[in-house]
Structure 1
Amino acid sequence: MTNSTSAASLTRRGFMAVTGGAAAATLLAACSASGGSNGKPIKFWNMPWGNVKFAPLDKKITLGYKPSGSLPAATYQSVQWANFTTTFSSAVASGTGPAVSSGSGTQAFQFAKQHKIAYADDLLDSWKKNGLYDDFLPGLIDTMKTPDGYVAVPYNLDMRVLWYRKALLEKAGVTPPTDWQSYLDACEALKKIGVYGFGIASGAQGNGFQVLVAMMINNGGGLFDADQKPNCVTEANLQTLDYVVELVKKGYMDPGSVGYSTNNAYSQWKAGRFAMGIEAPGLAQQVAGDVGPDMYVGDPLVSASGKKGTLSFPNNIMMYTNTPSQKGSEAFLTYYYKHMAPLWTQNTGPGLPVLKSIAATKEFQADANAAKMISVWQPVCKTWAAPGGAALFANVALVDSTPAMTTFAQSVLSLKATPKDALTTLQNTLTSQLK
């Protein structure tokens, strides 16, 4: 049970608001329904989070909603990832957008600044009475909290976890690492059999910057302070990047990784050139074939400072002020969360679940890697807001799949900048872009 492709995951998180007459991208899988205030339905727009089975089942669940009384029914639109920022910004600005939607992980925070989001406080209060609130995995709801209220509700999880190829580690005569030193030792043993232990892809279509931030969080660092301001040049971050530089200098990283896309990295995993790396939940499914069954999720590593942790992305569902009925939006979401389990139990691949009840199903538990991500990794996950806090905020869009982050990672992995210089440049760039 995993999310969809990592290539799409790069697009789905960085949300930059688009202004002025931008054309909307095509909306697919439209279906109409009547009912509600003046016959206007609750428009639910969702992204194609999983495989080809996801949208048809998601649409079926949505249209199965039978509202009570005069509350509106729901319609369904599947919004493609291509140009989705334009789709949403244009529709919301023109008043033709959805009443409820998913989108990028930072989208709700961006639209909240524009006063377009209907906060979820009343909805969450109602869920405290029906048990839904307590069904969420620990800490997830807090990631949506702002001084003005909860901007959204967690929906599915993406995170960066340690993967390894069991057969290659056995060939090298090592066990899966448990801390930074044993990771170095395993890399050295793998190098002797011609395999790279620090698998990473840091090209324009790669996620190397996410790996570096995940490692910073592992060591107690990150990019933002408690005031939600960039704070990159810290001892924890410097220590982390010194460790990364050691991995590179000792030849544990494929030199081509600086320019690799995620697809290039998949090819290296398949070819037996990568044996370990920090990657997305769907790695085994992306590699697939004969190699997929040899892919295992390791334990969170203990860092040089004695900490565990990684970067996670709590994708969410948000409500908008442009709705025929706020009570209707809340009633639909209550129905949807009570009925969305088949998206996971029928293997449609919409990321990792946010509800304990879904994670506990025998269908989900049948995937040992996915189950381990929830039981062992989720408790140590932190968002882009680390180390200053748990809740996301609008300015994390500055580091979420942006050119500045790709440049930062490439400068470190290519050894063209020292850790301090790379972090200082990033700090200056982010500070200059603050809104």
Structure 2
Amino acid sequence: MVSALGMTMTLAGCGGDSVSPSDVTLKLVAADYGDSKANSSQKYWDELTKEYESDHPGVKVDVSVYSWTDVDRKVKEMVDAGNAPDMAQIGAYADYAAKGQLYRVDELLSIPVQANFVSQLSDAGQTNNTQYGMPFASSTRLLFYNKTLFSQAGLTPPESWNGLAAAAKVLKSEGVTFPYALPLGPEEAQAETMQWLLSGGGAYTDDVGTYSIDSEQNIKTFTWLKDELVGKGLTGPVAPAKLNRADAFAAFARGEVGMLNGHPSLMQAAAKKGVQFGMVPMPGVNGRAKATMGVADWMMAFKKNGHAEQIGDFLDFVYDDKNVLAFSHHYDLLPVTTSASEAMAADEDDQDLAPFLDQLPASVLYPVGKTSWAGISADIKKQIAKAVTPAGSPTGIFSSLQLTATAADSAS
């Protein structure tokens, strides 16, 4: 995802890391983006490190790939045991940064590579205005709709909430199982929630980064969801609290869903099953939403073993355009750098990803720079679906989440 600028700088402040390249083996722990052994990320890393090592005969890069279910826990166990890897490519960086365990990005990357990250992603990699997290992969969300079901019902893609509800009502009358699939189950409820909050003009935090979960806009959004979609039976036979994202995606690929929020990987799954689908920006209150959700996963480097110079040189190679685009293409993800994004936008073979790419510059990411976010995200997964149940209170649930978030933020 980074251009091949061929520039690696000797960085000031790294004198303590001056180890002979011939003595260095770098340990990287990475997440697996594949869904089978055949397309495991291990294959990507094996090919990439083989190429790197052929040009750097004194440096070895040992990569261990774990599933997303295990990788964050595995890295934590290694760090707690005093055996931190040199690098980790996982879901969050803020806790390690807060403990002073990570290199700053400017201690590692050459200046052109550091400057090439998409600005929203670079900003999200900061804690206390210092970047520790390097974005590794990203995606945005669009509203997917089943073209066949829409055509049969005489519908066009909605641009507003009222249009979405009206379309869902017609789809229900046509016997569609899930007119709008609302996955608020524990797998990824925080994502579906955030997309709806953004479409209602809210977010998890305000413009200065303070938690604003119980804002008027957020409460209004979930009150509308409860009354106009869930309460009217337009979200299908599975209660939102019991519907996970993976199950909603699978139902869409079976042709059972009229509409849902999706990321790029859903395209491939739906196409394999022969589902004709379209994608549009998420509807907002009175027209298309002004912002969409962006998601990024993170690369970080631990100071435990030193090796800043060698780590930086290897990561400059990782973020070369060729390598970034190869990974993005294989897993239907978006590049995290400007030059690779521009290359993807100009490539006719990548036009299926263009709508997602168009959303990235105005996307809003989780507040991952807050050490409190991991706990708050877990609370949202457990609590948020209660807000749309018949007896649920959006005001009560959001107020409770806000109290917890404020306390956690103060403590951190």
TM-score, scaled to structure 1: 0.79
Instruction: Indicate conservation of the 8 Å contact 1:120/1:150, yes or no.
Output: yes
Contact residue 117 and residue 151 of structure 1 kept, 8 A: yes
Distance 1:425 1:148 in 2: 29
| Deviations 1:391-430, CA, capped at 9 Å, x for gaps | 7321111233x1x213332212323312211211222333
Question: Match for 2:139 among 140, 144, 158?
Answer: 158
Counterparts of 1:17-416 in structure 2, within 5 Å, are 36=20, 39-51=23-35, 52-53=38-39, 54-66=41-53, 72-104=59-91, 106=92, 108-124=93-109, 126-128=110-112, 132-133=113-114, 135-147=116-128, 149-195=130-176, 196-205=178-187, 207-225=188-206, 228-245=209-226, 246-258=228-240, 259-292=242-275, 294-304=276-286, 307-338=289-320, 339-341=322-324, 343-344=326-327, 347-349=329-331, 351-359=333-341, 360-361=343-344, 365-375=348-358, 377-385=359-367, 392-400=369-377, 402=378, 404-416=379-391
Partner of 2:8: none
How far apart are residue 349 of structure 1 and its match? 0.6
Query: Cα distance, 1:157 vs. partner?
Result: 0.7
Alpha-carbon offset, residue 193 of structure 1: 0.9
- The structure-2 alpha-carbon separation of the partners of 1:68 and 1:323, relative to structure 1 and needing over 3 Å to count, comes to farther
2:42·2:64 contact (CA, 8 Å) conserved in 1? no
Q: Percent identity?
A: 19
Structure 1 stretch displaced more, 147-156 or 67-76: 67-76
Give, in whole Å, the separation in 2 of the partners of 1:236 and 1:306.
Answer: 16
Q: Is the 8 A contact 2:22 2:58 kept in 1?
A: no
Does structure 1 retain, via aligned residues, the 8 Å contact 2:141–2:356? no
Kept in 1, the 8 Å contact 2:21–2:310? The answer is no
**2:332, 2:353 within 8 Å by CA — same for their partners in 1?**
no
**CA distance in 2: counterparts of 1:67 and 1:114, whole angstroms:** 35
Asked if the contact 2:376/2:404 (under 8 Å) is kept, the reply is no
Q: What SS is found at the alignment partner of 1:230? A: coil
Root-mean-square deviation over aligned CA pairs: 2.8
Contact kept, 8 Å, 1:209 with 1:408, in 2: the verdict is: no
- Alpha-carbon shift at residue 77 of structure 1 (Å): 2.0
Displacement of 1:267:
4.0
Residues of 2 paired with 1:174 and 1:61: CA distance? 47
Deviations 1:109-161 (A, max 9, x none): 1111221111102445x333xxx345433422111122262112111113332
How many Å apart are 1:67 and its aligned residue? 8.6
- CA shift in 2, pair 1:248/1:69, >3 Å: closer
